[in-house]
Amino acid sequence: MEENLRETLLGGQSFSWVEEDDGSFSAVLDGRVCRIRSLSDAAADPFLYDYFDLGYDYEKAREEIAAKDGILRQAVESTGLIRLLHQDHWIAAISFILSQNNNIKRITGLYRRLSERYGHEVEPGRFTFPSPAELAQATEEELRSLGTGFRAPFILDAVRKASLLDTIAPLPFDEAMEALQTIKGIGPKVASCILIFSYQRREGFPMDVWMKKVMREYYPGMTPEYFHPYEALSQQYLFSWIRSGS
């Protein structure tokens, strides 16, 4: 099945990437501008190999998800092959704090403005996402002026508790969820997103308004365990499918 790189990069997992006029994608990651047109561009780069989780058999996972039921088959066939990105813990945490009560376009804009204001320039007009130390220079008023709104104090609390992110990886899933939620503004949905898209916890199943609609209409009375062992990837397929107007 054809790889849907656009959906993987721009479909709500990450807010770092932009689509260029020539159809390629670029993002400032790992202290540099990364540019790719296809995943063959990532295979020889150790950072991007890990970022795109190229060691995992997504084709096998896609086939097994599609075989589970008719709705998942529709979701998989209409979406194409997608991957779960392995992002930096800090970038993921702030990205999904920004995602609360928000849409992808606005989140991406907030991400860009934070980078331009508090990150550092690596190429003309391209800036790194600010580190905790860089964001520590921000005030709540400044953050609000960039459009973060009610999320501004949550960002500052995440700055104060940034070291917590280094303790999450070895924890059992439920404990990791609880630990992340000690940061103000991080609830179950955001915590689950952070665990999937940064810590590669494939049992995560974030429940936003789109997924609540999917579960209500197509899986009434069922729990995420139904999708085991592909909870996170199944969720991403269903999320992409329902947003496409299916």
- pLDDT computed for residue 1 by the predictor: 62
Question: Residue 205 to residues 82, 152, 238: CA-CA distances in angstroms?
Answer: 16, 26, 11
Q: The domain 89-172: what is its CATH number?
A: 1.10.340.30
Q: Residue 75: what are its φ and ψ, rounded to 5°?
A: -60, -45
Question: Residue 207 to residues 15, 68, 160: CA-CA distances in angstroms?
Answer: 19, 20, 27
pLDDT > 70 fraction of the chain, expressed in percent and rounded: 99
On whether the CB atoms of residues 232 and 202 are closer than 8 A, the answer is: yes
In 3D, which of 208, 217, 242 has the Cα closest to residue 96? 208
Q: At CA 41, angle to CA 38 and CA 43, rounded to 5?
A: 110
Whether residue 22 has pLDDT greater than 70: yes
* Token pair listed for 154: 């949550």
Whether residue 175 has pLDDT greater than 80: yes
Q: Is 20 exposed, middle or buried (0-12, 13-18, 19+ CB in 10 A)?
A: exposed
Task: Please tell me the pTM assigned to this model.
Answer: 0.95
- 65-107 pLDDT, tens digit per residue, is 999 999 999 999 999 999 999 999 999 999 999 999 889 999 9
CA dist 193 and 206 (Å) reads 6
Question: Residue 231 to residues 7, 70, 142, 236, 244: CA-CA distances in angstroms?
Answer: 18, 16, 38, 9, 20
- 120-174 pLDDT, tens digit per residue, is 999 999 999 999 999 999 999 999 999 999 999 999 999 999 999 999 999 999 9
Shared fold status for 5-85+205-243 and 89-172: no
**Structural domain spans, the chain:** 5-85+205-243, 89-172
CA dist 218 and 182 (Å) reads 33
| Cis ω before 170 (30° cut-off from 0) | no
- pLDDT computed for residue 246 by the predictor: 58
Q: The domain 5-85+205-243: what is its CATH number?
A: 3.30.310.260
